[in-house]
């Protein structure tokens, strides 16, 4: 019995420590929620919140992005900002009283992509702008910087340049640290005058056995916070999902990476309360290890996770920065989407003195000790009665830890815009497509679950889970961001392998004596792709056309046609649409500018990124590829007495985006279960087919090109390598509206060769202004002007590829000593070497209008030559956002 009593005494002595541990583990933020919503802040529209800080008076400072967003086209490959002509027009710095009302604002037409905001002990405001690659110090009460570091729009990695700097932390001595940033992965220390002292850090390239990269390496140092009382600088190492703390000389001290952080931690802020804690927020994540977006409280001394907290459902979505008002015990969280700031009340437990036992620990002990003594007495009485010693006892259930959260008060920032930016990882996979089993004559269907898994759905409703596959950016369609998985299934059916498959099936049917079941294979070749092949094999355009025809027919293709004929319809319909828009412009606000619709990369970008803002301005005329599809599957099929489903139509194009265009639901016939264009291959893929067949195009004998009517000679249209839409519309509008004839247009080069404008004017009438905008940098300039109501043009010929279609991504790349620039010149010269025709005077075109379409204004004309565009629902996952 004495032995037993000794053991029980030891347990009793340990009881206070156990209870203390339980009480400390239960210390979380209070669960009560007290929302106090504040509506729009003054007359200022707040954009995405980049930076956030609170001064000693409890005034909230917000650095926001106004109407600007950061997307995949904001920077070029050298990290240079592409929209340098469009600063944020509204005030980007807003200072609010502690009740959420606006005190003052400034910073309009100055900043481009605000990111970080810090207040030092003197009340100076420090700002970072990732587009400008600069750091600014604004004196207390001022609006203009008295210190600027970095060079405007110049990224760099030396001691005088930054590359997308993210945040600043300032010591009481005036020395300060800069997190630099998205490109350089380093921390730089400066003296109070802005002179370089030292730097440390490098890019994380591998992970240690603990699953984290080596200390002192970063994957986006996204936020900084100083614990000067502890001589620590802590860094939010964003994509490594951890906080790293260093001494003030850059020596590593410790890191914090609680599992609930998941893969990313966006912002951190130190508070001296409760012996020193760090408040942190993570962000939206994807993948199997994605963590819920929420807030965290950690001990700075041990890295222990003290609590997690959140706002009411649906909870934090895209937090970007965090600020702490220690005097009034509030935490503020600024979000990118929705564009708002949340105010959270710290519970008393978090800021009360942390010396000795707190009252809850004492209450726990006072309650538990008598209960335990009573239990002990009962056990001793039982042992005394039975004479037994209990040496094994069951473990008591683990104490239930009460979950607490923070009282919240929302400060609405006044905007409810639906824009979002899209981006793609430039070093890893871009999309995750799926491959499904094909059934002859059927279209594959997939269903996508919320967790990202894919299921093949058969006609009978049977579902089969599909494996995911990864592809690289070599396969990317440059269509404004990652394409959807459903689209990628369709694209896998668009390659030279598919053409070979159809030809092999035809051969087998012939061997089996079933020639009547084989498909009629028609290949339509566009002039830009033909020019690329001509340049590769040192041929002229006519020779290339004849040899390409012979090559395809040798493989088993039945007809080889030229898409230039179809482009004639596209040009004519575009001219007519422009004049109709002009007549309706007085009552239709979105009549001008009319934007060209022949480039599918541009169309996809507009649908996915800008939606209803831009789609009304885009021409409804189909591209030459799709008009050719209508001709082949409708007119030509009837001419051959075949069903559209019995025709297999292949187009040879200069860019990969045409594959996605051919896969659009708008160009699929439910009646015949077939597409207008069944397969798209690029000029580069044709070259691969030549290599596979072990032949050179120049060694193939000539064979005349097929034609729907009359002569099979190669012709083109005026106006350059992208189809000549501006040239034809300008001349037609001048004649029909201004009553003048224009023989030559004068192009004025603006910012670059890919941005040119034309003005047509006559006395007594308003002039017409039109432009060429090639490449996404120039496209974004046009889009921004349209959104702001400041676009001066009536028509814009838009192409996604710099230099237009002759420089498409699917063109054959030069080898050896030939540079891409030299090859482009060669391709352009070959393209322009062909005799041009006027589509208005082509008898064959006019014959089809009459015989096939029943005139120019009939319903069939609209059905065969026009289309519609659709806003695509925005993605809001982590891969779709650039912070």
Over residues 653-673, the pLDDT tens digits come to 999 889 989 989 999 998 888
Q: Could you tell me the pLDDT band of residue 12, with boundaries at 50, 70 and 90?
A: very low
Q: Which two tokens stand for residue 271?
A: 């508070």
Q: What is the average per-residue pLDDT within 319-347?
A: 89
Closest to 628 in 3D by CA, of 673, 541, 566: 566
| Cα-only R_g, the chain | 34
Q: State the first-to-last Cα distance of the chain, in angstroms, to the nearest integer.
A: 68
Are 762 and 738 contacting, i.e. CB atoms less than 8 angstroms apart?
yes
User: Any idea which residue has 């905001």 for tokens?
Assistant: 117
Are 481 and 880 contacting, i.e. CB atoms less than 8 angstroms apart?
yes
Q: Residue 574: enclosing H or E segment and its boundaries?
A: helix 564-584
β partners of residue 279? 269, 297
Q: Which two tokens stand for residue 585?
A: 């412009």
Q: Which two tokens stand for residue 522?
A: 């028609």
| Res 880: pLDDT | 39
| Res 609: pLDDT | 82
Q: What 3-state class would DSSP assign to 799?
A: strand
Instruction: Out of 31-45, 380-394, 840-854, give the one with best mean pLDDT.
Output: 840-854
Residue-wise DSSP of 509-572: HHHTT-GGGSPEEEEEE-HHHHHHHHHHTT--HHHHHHHHHHHHHHHT-SEEEETHHHHHHHHH
Q: Could you tell me the pLDDT band of residue 367, with boundaries at 50, 70 and 90?
A: confident
Question: Would you give the distance in Å from CA 304 to the centre of its chain?
Answer: 35
Closest to 432 in 3D by CA, of 288, 533, 552: 288
> What are the start-end ranges of the H helices in 354-428?
359-386
Q: Please give the C-alpha separations between residue 108 and each of 92, 165, 197, 398, 827, in angstroms, as whole numbers.
A: 6, 20, 33, 57, 46
Residue-wise DSSP of 849-880: HHHTSSSSSSHHHHHHHB----PPPPP-SGGG
Are 883 and 114 contacting, i.e. CB atoms less than 8 angstroms apart?
no
Of the listed ranges 426-430, 604-608, 816-820, the one predicted with least confidence:
426-430
What gap in Å lies between CA 245 and CA 240, rounded to an integer?
A: 14
Contacts of 531 by beta carbon, 8 Å cutoff, 6+ apart: 541, 544, 721, 806, 827, 828, 830, 831
Q: What is the average per-residue pLDDT within 342-359?
A: 64
Q: Which two tokens stand for residue 23?
A: 């009480």
Q: Could you tell me the pLDDT band of residue 158, with boundaries at 50, 70 and 90?
A: very high
Q: DSSP assignment, residue 680?
A: E
Q: Could you tell me the pLDDT band of residue 448, with boundaries at 50, 70 and 90?
A: low
Q: Which two tokens stand for residue 851?
A: 């015989």
Q: Which two tokens stand for residue 370?
A: 């008598």
Instruction: Out of 353-362, 369-378, 764-773, give the one with best mean pLDDT.
Output: 764-773
Q: What is the pTM of this model?
A: 0.56
Are 294 and 273 contacting, i.e. CB atoms less than 8 angstroms apart?
no
Taking only the tens place, the pLDDT of each residue in 816-840 is 888 999 999 999 999 999 999 999 9
Closest to 673 in 3D by CA, of 644, 699, 707: 644
Of the listed ranges 287-301, 486-500, 743-757, 775-789, the one predicted with least confidence:
486-500
Q: Please give the C-alpha separations between residue 297 and each of 26, 310, 459, 605, in angstroms, as whole numbers.
A: 13, 11, 52, 41
Q: DSSP assignment, residue 318?
A: S
Q: What is the average per-residue pLDDT within 173-182?
A: 96
Find the angle CA(625)-CA(627)-CA(633) to the nearest 5 degrees. Answer: 100
What gap in Å lies between CA 783 and CA 380, rounded to an integer?
A: 84
SS3 content of the chain, % helix, strand, coil (to 5): 30, 25, 45
| Res 859: pLDDT | 92
Q: Could you tell me the pLDDT band of residue 712, with boundaries at 50, 70 and 90?
A: confident
Q: Is the pLDDT of residue 242 over 90?
A: yes
More confident residue, 807 or 358: 807
Are 46 and 63 contacting, i.e. CB atoms less than 8 angstroms apart?
no
More confident residue, 84 or 573: 573
Contacts of 543 by beta carbon, 8 Å cutoff, 6+ apart: 534, 702
Q: Is the pLDDT of residue 503 over 70?
A: yes
Residue-wise DSSP of 579-633: HHHHHHTTT-TT-SSEE----HHHHHHIIIIIGGGTGGGB--BPPHHHHHHHIII
Closest to 481 in 3D by CA, of 657, 609, 655: 609
Find the angle CA(769)-CA(772)-CA(776) to the nearest 5 degrees. Answer: 130
Q: What is the pairing mode between strands 407-412 and 340-345?
A: antiparallel
Q: Could you tell me the pLDDT band of residue 116, with boundaries at 50, 70 and 90?
A: very high
Contacts of 54 by beta carbon, 8 Å cutoff, 6+ apart: 60, 61, 119, 323, 324, 325, 330, 332
Query: What's the mean per-residue pLDDT of the chain?
Result: 83
Are 682 and 651 contacting, i.e. CB atoms less than 8 angstroms apart?
no
Q: Is the pLDDT of residue 395 over 60?
A: no
Q: Is the pLDDT of residue 359 over 80?
A: no
Q: What is the pairing mode between strands 795-799 and 765-774?
A: parallel
Q: Could you tell me the pLDDT band of residue 145, with boundaries at 50, 70 and 90?
A: very high
Q: Where are the beta strands (DSSP E) in 733-828?
A: 748-749, 755-762, 765-774, 795-799
β partners of residue 114? 129
C-beta neighbour count of 353 within 10 angstroms: 9
Closest to 868 in 3D by CA, of 671, 619, 624: 619
Question: Would you give the distance in Å from CA 514 to the centre of its chain?
Answer: 50
Q: Is the pLDDT of residue 762 over 60?
A: yes
Q: Please give the C-alpha separations between residue 724 and each of 574, 634, 702, in angstroms, as whole numbers.
A: 11, 26, 29
Are 345 and 408 contacting, i.e. CB atoms less than 8 angstroms apart?
yes
Q: Could you tell me the pLDDT band of residue 206, with boundaries at 50, 70 and 90?
A: confident
Residue 193 backbone dihedrals phi, psi, to 5 degrees: -95, 0
Q: Which two tokens stand for residue 40?
A: 């729009």
- The interaxial angle of helices 820-832 and 527-536, nearest 10 deg, is 120
What gap in Å lies between CA 720 and CA 829, rounded to an integer?
A: 10
Are 724 and 571 contacting, i.e. CB atoms less than 8 angstroms apart?
yes
Q: What 3-state class would DSSP assign to 504?
A: helix
Are 305 and 850 contacting, i.e. CB atoms less than 8 angstroms apart?
no
Q: Could you tell me the pLDDT band of residue 144, with boundaries at 50, 70 and 90?
A: very high
Cis check for the bond before 284: say yes or no (omega within 30 of 0).
Answer: no
Q: Is the pLDDT of residue 389 over 80?
A: no
Q: Please give the C-alpha separations between residue 17 and each of 14, 54, 116, 393, 397, in angstroms, as whole numbers.
A: 5, 39, 44, 20, 18
Q: What 3-state class would DSSP assign to 776?
A: helix
Closest to 333 in 3D by CA, of 398, 267, 378, 381: 267
Are 154 and 133 contacting, i.e. CB atoms less than 8 angstroms apart?
yes
Q: Residue 298: enclosing H or E segment and its boundaries?
A: strand 295-299
Q: What is the average per-residue pLDDT within 859-870?
A: 94
Are 68 and 81 contacting, i.e. CB atoms less than 8 angstroms apart?
no
Instruction: Out of 103-117, 306-320, 461-475, give the one with best mean pLDDT.
Output: 103-117
């Amino acid at each position: 019995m004495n032995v037993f009593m000794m053991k029980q005494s030891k347990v009793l002595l340990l009881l206070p420590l156990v209870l203390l541990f339980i009480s400390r583990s239960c210390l979380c933020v209070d669960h009560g929620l007290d929302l106090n919503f504040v509506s729009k802040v003054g007359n200022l529209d707040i954009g995405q919140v980049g930076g956030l800080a609170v001064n000693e008076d409890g005034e909230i400072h917000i650095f926001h992005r106004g109407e600007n967003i950061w997307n995949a086209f904001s920077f070029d490959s050298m990290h240079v900002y592409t929209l340098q002509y469009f600063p944020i027009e509204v005030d980007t710095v807003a200072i609010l009283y502690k009740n959420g009302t606006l005190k003052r604002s400034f910073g309009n037409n100055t900043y481009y992509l605000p990111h970080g905001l810090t207040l030092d002990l003197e009340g100076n405001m420090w700002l970072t702008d990732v587009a400008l690659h600069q750091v600014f110090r604004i004196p207390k009460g001022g609006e203009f910087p008295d210190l600027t570091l970095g060079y405007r729009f110049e990224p760099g990695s030396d001691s005088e340049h930054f590359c997308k700097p993210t945040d600043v932390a300032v010591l009481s001595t005036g020395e300060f640290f800069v997190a630099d940033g998205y490109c350089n992965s380093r921390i730089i220390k400066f003296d109070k005058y802005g002179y370089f002292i030292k730097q440390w850090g490098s890019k994380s390239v591998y992970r240690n056995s603990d699953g984290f990269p080596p200390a002192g390496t970063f994957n986006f140092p996204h936020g900084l916070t100083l614990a000067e009382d502890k001589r620590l600088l802590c860094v939010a190492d964003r994509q490594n999902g951890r906080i790293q703390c260093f001494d003030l000389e850059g020596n590593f001290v410790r890191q914090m990476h609680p599992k609930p952080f998941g893969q990313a931690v966006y912002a951190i802020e130190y508070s001296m309360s409760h012996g020193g804690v760090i408040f942190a927020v993570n962000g939206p994540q994807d993948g199997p290890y994605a963590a819920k977006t929420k807030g965290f409280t950690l001990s700075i001394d041990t890295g222990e996770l003290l609590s997690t907290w959140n706002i009411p459902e649906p909870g934090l979505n895209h937090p970007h920065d965090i600020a702490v008002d220690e005097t009034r015990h509030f935490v503020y969280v600024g979000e990118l989407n929705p564009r708002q700031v949340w105010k959270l009340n710290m519970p008393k437990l978090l800021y009360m003195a942390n010396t000795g036992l707190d009252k809850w620990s004492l209450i726990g002990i006072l309650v538990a000790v008598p209960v335990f003594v009573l239990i002990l007495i009962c056990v001793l009485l039982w042992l005394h009665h039975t004479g037994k010693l209990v040496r094994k006892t069951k473990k008591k259930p683990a104490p239930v830890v009460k979950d607490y959260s923070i009282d919240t008060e929302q400060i609405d920032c006044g905007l409810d815009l639906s824009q979002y930016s899209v981006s793609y990882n430039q070093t890893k996979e871009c999309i995750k497509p799926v491959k499904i089993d094909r059934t002859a004559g059927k279209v594959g269907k997939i269903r996508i679950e919320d967790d990202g898994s894919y299921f093949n759905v058969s006609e009978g409703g049977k579902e089969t889970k599909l494996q995911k596959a990864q592809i690289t950016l070599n396969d990317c369609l440059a269509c404004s961001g990652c394409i959807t998985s459903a689209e990628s299934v369709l694209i896998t059916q668009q390659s030279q392998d598919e053409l070979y498959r159809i030809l092999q099936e035809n051969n087998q049917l012939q061997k089996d004596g079933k020639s009547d079941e084989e498909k009629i294979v028609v290949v339509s070749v566009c002039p830009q792709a033909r020019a690329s092949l001509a340049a590769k094999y040192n041929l002229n355009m006519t020779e290339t056309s004849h040899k390409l025809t012979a090559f395809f027919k040798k493989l088993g293709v039945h007809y080889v046609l030229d898409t230039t004929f179809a482009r004639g319809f596209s040009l004519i319909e575009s001219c007519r649409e422009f004049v109709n828009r002009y007549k309706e412009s007085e009552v239709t606000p979105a009549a001008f500018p009319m934007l060209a619709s022949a480039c599918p990369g541009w169309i996809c970008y507009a649908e996915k990124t800008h939606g209803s803002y831009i789609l009304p301005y885009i021409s409804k005329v189909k591209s030459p590829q799709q008009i050719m599809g209508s001709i082949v599957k409708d007119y030509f099929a009837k001419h051959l007495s075949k069903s559209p489903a019995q025709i297999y139509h292949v187009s040879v194009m200069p860019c990969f985006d045409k594959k996605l265009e051919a896969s659009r639901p708008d160009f699929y016939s439910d009646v015949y279960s077939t597409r207008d264009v069944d397969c798209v291959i690029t000029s580069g893929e044709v070259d691969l087919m030549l290599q596979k067949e072990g032949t050179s195009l120049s060694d193939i004998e000539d064979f005349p090109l097929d034609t729907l009517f009359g002569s099979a000679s190669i012709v083109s249209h005026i106006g350059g390598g992208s189809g000549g839409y501006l040239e034809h519309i300008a001349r037609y509008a001048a004649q029909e509206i201004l009553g003048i004839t224009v023989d030559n247009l004068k192009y004025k080069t603006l910012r670059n060769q890919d941005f040119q404008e034309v003005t047509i004017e006559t006395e007594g009438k308003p002039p017409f202004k039109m432009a060429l905008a090639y490449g996404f940098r120039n496209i974004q300039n046009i889009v921004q002007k349209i959104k702001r109501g400041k676009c001066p043009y009536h028509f814009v010929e838009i192409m996604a590829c710099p230099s237009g279609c002759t420089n498409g991504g699917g063109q054959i790349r030069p080898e050896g000593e030939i540079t891409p620039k030299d090859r482009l010149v060669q391709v352009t010269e070959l393209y322009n070497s062909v005799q041009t025709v006027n589509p208005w005077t082509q008898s064959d075109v006019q014959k089809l209008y009459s015989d096939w379409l029943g005139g120019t204004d009939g319903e069939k004309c609209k059905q065969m030559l026009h289309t519609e565009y659709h806003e695509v629902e925005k993605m809001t996952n982590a891969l779709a956002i650039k912070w």
